[in-house]
Amino acid sequence: MNCKDELHEECGVVGIYGVEHAARVAFMALQSLQHRGQQGCGIAAVDADGSIRIHKEAGLVKDVFGEDELSGLEGRSCIGHVRYPTTKVGGRENLQPFGITGKIGRFALAHNGNIVNAEEVKLAMESHGHLFSSTSDSELFGHLIGVGPVSLGWAANIGHAANQLDGAYATVVLTENALYACRDKYGFRPLSLGRLGDGYIVASETCALSLVGAEFIRDVEPGELLVIDADGVHSHHFSTERKHRMCSMEYIYFARPDSVIEGCSVHVFRKRSGALLYQECPTEADLVTYVPESGMSAAIGYSEAGKIPLQMGLLKNMYVARTFIQPTQAMRNLGVRMKLSPMRSIVNGKRVVVVDDSIVRGTTSKQLVQMLRDAGAKEVHMRIASPKYAWPCYYGIDTGTRDQLIAAQMSEQEICDFIGADSLYYLSEEALFKASERTELCTACFGGGYPTDLYGYSEEKE
C-alpha cells in the first residue's frame, strides 16, 4: 500500500549512548527507519563540552545530512528522528528533536506517536503561562519534563511527565550525561534496545539495530523508562498499568519485513496472514501477485498455502516522488499509473489473485483492478491481509476521517463492486491474532474498540 490512497507512517526514533561518532551511527540507523517518515529528520548530539547540538531539516536523511552537518555533531551520545507529520500542521517548527531548556537543565527530545489528551494538558499549561512554539506533542512532553522539580532528578521527572500523557508514544530524551527511552503504558509503538560495542542503541525497529551491527537485547516494555548512562541500563516503570496493545498495523503495513516486533518477525507475521487468508478464502487462480511491497510477504504465504504460482504482476517505479498532491481526480489517477505498472506478459489471459495489506479509501484499488484488466487479466480477485479498516486511528496514523474510509461506508460486496474486482475478501480479526501469536493487539481501526479514553478527540477535531 506504499503507493496509494494511503495510510501514512508515524515517525521513527533512535537513541545512541556511549558510541564513538554516535551521530554518524544515527545517520545510518535513521536511513533504515526512513519508511516511517519522509517529511523531515534531525539529530541532536552531546559534544565534548556537554552542549547539545541539533541539526534538523525537511527532507530525507541522505539529503539533510552531509559531512558538514555530521562533523558538527560529534560526540558519543545522540538521538534522532524521522518525521511524518501526525499533527495537521507539518511545518518546520514541528521537526524533531526538540531542544528544550527547563528548570532541570537542557535536554533534547524526540517522539513517535500521538497523545490523545495533548490538548487538555496543553490548555492547562497555557493557563499557567506556558508558551508553545509548535503543535507537536513532543514539545508538550518536553515542557512537562522541563517544569518538573529539579530535586526529583531526570528519571522521576520524565516518568512523571509520561504519566500525565495518554495515548501512543515511543520517546527518547538526551541529556548531557544520559539517554532516556520510554514507551506508553499500552505499548502502541515499538521500541527496541540493543548493544553496540561498549554502548547502547534504542530504535523504533530492530532493522535499525541490524543495520548498524548492534546486538538486540530486548524490547522496551509498555510503561517502562530506561535510563542509559555510564553505569549501564537501568529500568524504571512509571506506570503500574501496563498493557500490550501493539498497533496491529505495525505488523500489517508500517514496519519493515526484516524487523522483529515483540518477538514476532514482521515478515513471518505477514506470511502467516497470507496463508490464513488462503485458508479462509481459497480461490481458483492461475497466479498470485501483490501490491509492492507491503503486500509481498502475505502474497508469498497465500501462494504457498494455495500452491498457486507467485508472480510479479505489478511493477513499482521506485523513482516517483513519494508525496504529491494533484488537483483533479484525473491527475490523481495518472499518479497511480506513474507509481505502479501491470506486467502484461504475466497477467494477460490469467485469473489473478492480488494480495494487498489493506484498503483505506478504495480509489487506488479501483485503479489497480482496472489496470490489470486493461493488461488482459481474465479475472481479478482482491485478497486483503487485514480486517476492514473502518475506524480512524488517533494514535499517530494519518487515516483521515471515518467518512473517508470506504469500509465504514460500504459492505464488502459494495466495496468489491466499487473497485470492480471479481471477488474481494478481508482477513478475519481472529486470523490476525493467530498470525501474530499474540492475545493482545490494538485493533481499534478494524472494530472501533479504542484502548484509551479519546478525550473528545472526535472527527470534528481532526
List residues binding ligand SF4 (CB under 6 A).
Answer: 188, 247-249, 393, 395, 397, 442-445
Q: How far is the CB of 245 from ligand SF4 (least distance, A)?
A: 7
Considering only CA atoms, which of 98, 81, 79, 92 is closest in space to residue 31?
81
Give whole-number Cα distances, 118 to 2, 124, 126, 162, 442, in Å.
29, 10, 12, 12, 20
- Sign of the C-alpha dihedral computed for residues 411, 429, 397 and 360 taken in this order: negative
Mark whether 182 is an active-site residue. no
- Closer to ligand SF4 by CB, 213 or 456: give it: 456
- Closer to ligand SF4 by CB, 397 or 416: give it: 397
Q: How far is the CB of 444 from ligand SF4 (least distance, A)?
A: 4
Dihedral-angle region of residue 160 (phi above 0 means left; psi in -120 to 50 means alpha; beta otherwise):
alpha
Contact of 311 with 289, CB cutoff 8 Å: yes
Q: How far is the CB of 247 from ligand SF4 (least distance, A)?
A: 3
- Closer to ligand SF4 by CB, 46 or 397: give it: 397
| 297 Cβ contact partners less than 8 Å away, ≥ 6 residues apart | 257, 266, 267, 269, 270, 271, 274
What nine digits make up the cell of 327?
488537483
Largest CA distance in the chain: 74
Select which of 3, 11, 247, 393 is catalytic: 11
- Closer to ligand SF4 by CB, 60 or 441: give it: 441
Q: What is the CB neighbour count within 10 angstroms for residue 240?
A: 8
Q: What is the rounded CA–CA span in Å between residue 126 and residue 147?
A: 13
What residues are paired with 101 via a beta bridge? 106
Q: How far is the CB of 324 from ligand SF4 (least distance, A)?
A: 24
Q: How far is the CB of 341 from ligand SF4 (least distance, A)?
A: 29
- Closer to ligand SF4 by CB, 16 or 442: give it: 442
Q: Which residues are catalytic?
A: 11
